[in-house]
Amino acid sequence: MSAQHPVVFVTRRLPEAVEARLTRDYTPVLNADDTPFGSADLVERVVNAGAEAVLCCPTDKMTADVIAGMPNKVRALATFSVGYDHIDLEAAKAHDLIVTNTPDVLTDATADCAMLLILAAARRAWAAESMLRRGDWSNWAPTGQIGIQVTGKRLGIFGMGRIGQALAKRARGFDMEIHYSDLAQLPPELEAGATFHADPEDLLGVSDVLSLHCPLTDETRHFLDARRIALMIDGAIVVNTARGPIVDDEALIVALRTGKLAAAGLDVFDGEPKVNPGYLELENTTLFPHIGSATKETRDAMGFVALDNLDAVFGGRTPPNRVV
């Protein structure tokens, strides 16, 4: 990079170590109070900053209009996330913008979160803790707060990439039987004894617990709808740490309310940070505010990967995690 550090507009406050590296290697325009920007405000601030790159987050809707409003000197959008469905990739191409993401460093943290949600949903953790905090726990009862034991149950993983495989490794520690569906069967050394289902609908009928780890595409949007829920085992558990729109909220809420499904553990939501209020009325849900990657180690690593991408852009190299 040149002696004059490139100006990077940063849409949200980042971990301390990441901002320290930004300040060392770039001229960052930081968001000290961490207030999310609306579309018009975001464009205005990028223009006024004289930015040559934008380090954005999933909360920033980088629509065609936002991208069209950015000056030509903006060379890159580096998103602080693996997912990039908040960025209009066609508009980025048309504007000759490089788009990068931060894959591979979220695997363990997200798999931990998925396992936590499986256990919490199965054991009715939210309902039990809420009862205690309300002061409603009067005594121990043989029939009180009965949940589901995960030991020996069949875990269905829809999307057997890095995170799906990491979850399978954890679930084997609970003697769970692993089933999965993906676009292609894994080689035996990665499959590690798991059972492959070429048709994801076949996976639904064998899963005591279904954990979603597929990317959000046109094909997977509202994958888990009323028709497919009907194919599931009565009393099954659904966990989602992938993308909120993979689930049809209304269909899942009905299934949880009627007892078709026993419980759900959700870290992501369609339209987040808004959450369908139907979930909030249910005691058989465990709801997290998209914290799958929220460990210090992982968030630092995400920031460093985003900066590695920018280092490559301004160093005249191909970014290691270029999306467009």
pLDDT score of 248 more than 90: yes
| pLDDT cut 90: percent of the chain above it | 99
Residue 316: what residue type? G
Q: In the predicted model, what is the mean pLDDT of residues 100-107? A: 97
Name every residue whose Cβ is closer than 8 Å to that of residue 57 and which is 6 or more positions away in sequence: 11, 12, 79, 80, 81
* Residue-level pLDDT at 68: 97
Q: In the predicted model, what is the mean pLDDT of residues 207-232? A: 97
β-strand 177-181 against 154-158: which pairing, if any? parallel
Q: Are 204 and 210 in contact (CB under 8 A)?
A: yes
Give all domains of the chain, ordered by start, each with its CATH number.
Answer: 7-105+296-314 (3.40.50.720), 107-287 (3.40.50.720)
pLDDT score of 15 more than 90: yes
pLDDT score of 186 more than 60: yes
| pLDDT cut 70: percent of the chain above it | 99
> How far is 128 from 140, CA to CA, in rounded Å?
12
* Residue-level pLDDT at 2: 45
Q: In the predicted model, what is the mean pLDDT of residues 266-293? A: 97
pLDDT score of 211 more than 70: yes
> How far is 240 from 266, CA to CA, in rounded Å?
5
What is the rounded (10 degree) CA torsion for 39, 43, 49, 52?
Answer: 110
Measured at the CA of 47, the angle between CA 45 and CA 53, to 5 degrees, comes to 90
> How far is 94 from 62, CA to CA, in rounded Å?
14
- Name the strand (E) or helix (H) holding 158: strand 154-158
CA 299 vs CA 13, 57, 165: distances in Å: 12, 12, 21
Measured at the CA of 314, the angle between CA 312 and CA 320, to 5 degrees, comes to 15
* Residue-level pLDDT at 241: 98
Q: Are 58 and 79 in contact (CB under 8 A)?
A: yes
4 pLDDT tier (thresholds 50, 70, 90): confident
CA 36 vs CA 31, 39, 137: distances in Å: 9, 10, 40
Q: In the predicted model, what is the mean pLDDT of residues 93-100? A: 97
> How far is 186 from 180, CA to CA, in rounded Å?
10
What's the half-sphere exposure (Cβ side, CA atoms, 13 Å) at 212? 26
pLDDT digits over 118-144, tens only?
Answer: 999 999 999 999 999 999 999 999 999
Q: In the predicted model, what is the mean pLDDT of residues 255-278? A: 97
What's the half-sphere exposure (Cβ side, CA atoms, 13 Å) at 150? 25
pLDDT digits over 20-79, tens only?
Answer: 999 999 999 999 999 999 999 999 999 999 999 999 999 999 999 999 999 999 999 999
pLDDT score of 300 more than 50: yes
Residues designated as active site: 243, 272, 290
Which tokens hold the place of 58? 């999933």
Of 109, 56, 12, 80, give the one whose Cα is nearest residue 305: 80
1 pLDDT tier (thresholds 50, 70, 90): very low
Q: Are 323 and 84 in contact (CB under 8 A)?
A: yes
> How far is 210 from 157, CA to CA, in rounded Å?
6
Which tokens hold the place of 318? 């191909």
Of 99, 112, 8, give the one whose Cα is nearest residue 322: 99
> How far is 293 from 243, CA to CA, in rounded Å?
13
